[in-house]
Structure formats: structure tokens, C-alpha cells
């Protein structure tokens, strides 16, 4: 079982459940990754590599994936889907470490694509509004400063 985050356009009416349903109903077959998606992927991959070690790239037919074996975290792009996943139970990586990693990657993807990370289980945004992806640090380490909001105010848990 895994925890999944979907990336979708922000709904103009604010109705996240409808936006998720529309994403699920989009055609899945016969499409290819387009130039914009490939460009976004390149930027995402570079930013993740700058911040996080141990990710390996897998390329399939119309699929790109970054996987980190130690945590089981995976970011996958297909023509109609961009998803971030992590196993529900990962004792080796620790819950806080995996949550911090998911938060950091989700913020990077949002910044590079303009899409919004959404938790399908809660049918709402995964991230707090306006998190600066470059300010996200290891929130489980009391010696590290907490993430900063874009407007400079401290982000407190």
C-alpha cells in the first residue's frame, strides 16, 4: 500500500474533488509525453538531484520515473498523470524523513509545472500554501531551521 500525491491544475471553482475526478476520467491510451512535459521533467530532475541523493532515473515507453530505493519514494510522469508515491510503512527511512522528502519534491514539482500537489485521500492540496521549495529542510532535525514561506514568514508545524 502506498501514499500517493497527484499533480493537477488548480480548479478555477476551488472544487478539488471534481478536479481529481476529471483527471481520473481523462483519456489514458495512445498519448505521448509532449515537449512541455519533457522540459518540465528535465528541470524537476535537476532540482531533485541538487537537493536529494540516491534517485535513479527509469525511462519507459511514454513514462519517466525517478525512484529512491532507500525510501521507496517515486515520482512518475506519464502523458496524462504526474504522481508522487511512497510506501505507507517504511521503518528504515522513518516517517518524518519520508514526509520531508515528499514535501520537498512536491514543492519542486509545483514550482516547475504550475500544477498543484493534491492528496486524493483528503481531496485537497497536499502542501501548505506558498511554500518555497528551496527553503524546505529536514523538519525532523531540531538543529535545522523550519521551512520558510515565500513571503518570508516562518512556516511552523
Grouping H, G, I as helix, E, B as strand and the rest as coil, residue 101 is helix
Amino acid 90: pLDDT? 56
Closest to 69 in 3D by CA, of 51, 81, 60, 57: 57
Per-residue confidence (pLDDT) for residue 24, from 0 to 100: 73
Note the pTM of the prediction, 2 decimals.
Answer: 0.76
The domain segmentation of the chain, as residue ranges, is: 1-11+34-157
* DSSP state for residue 64 in the 8-state scheme: E
- Count CB neighbours of 148 within 10 A: 17
pLDDT in tens, the chain (157 residues): 788 999 999 888 888 888 888 877 766 666 889 999 999 999 999 999 999 999 999 999 889 999 999 899 999 999 989 999 998 765 555 666 788 899 999 999 999 999 999 998 888 899 876 555 555 555 544 444 444 444 444 444 4
| Residue of 128, 105, 89 lying closest to 3 (CA atoms) | 89
Amino acid at each position: 500500500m502506498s501514499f500517493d500525491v497527484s499533480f493537477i491544475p488548480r480548479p478555477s471553482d476551488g472544487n478539488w474533488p471534481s478536479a481529481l475526478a476529471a483527471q481520473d476520467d481523462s483519456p489514458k491510451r495512445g498519448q505521448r509525453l509532449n515537449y512541455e512535459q519533457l522540459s518540465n521533467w528535465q528541470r524537476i530532475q535537476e532540482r531533485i538531484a541538487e537537493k536529494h541523493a540516491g534517485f535513479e532515473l527509469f525511462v519507459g515507453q511514454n513514462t519517466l520515473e525517478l525512484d529512491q530505493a532507500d525510501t521507496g519514494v517515486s515520482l512518475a510522469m506519464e502523458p496524462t498523470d504526474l504522481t508522487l508515491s511512497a510506501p505507507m510503512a517504511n521503518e528504515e527511512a522513518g516517517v518524518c524523513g519520508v514526509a520531508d522528502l515528499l514535501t520537498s519534491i512536491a514543492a519542486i514539482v509545483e514550482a516547475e509545472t504550475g500544477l498543484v500537489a493534491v492528496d486524493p485521500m483528503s481531496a485537497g492540496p497536499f502542501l501548505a500554501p506558498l511554500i518555497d521549495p528551496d527553503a524546505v529542510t529536514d523538519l525532523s532535525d531540531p538543529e535545522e531551521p523550519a521551512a520558510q514561506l515565500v513571503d518570508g514568514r516562518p512556516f511552523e508545524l
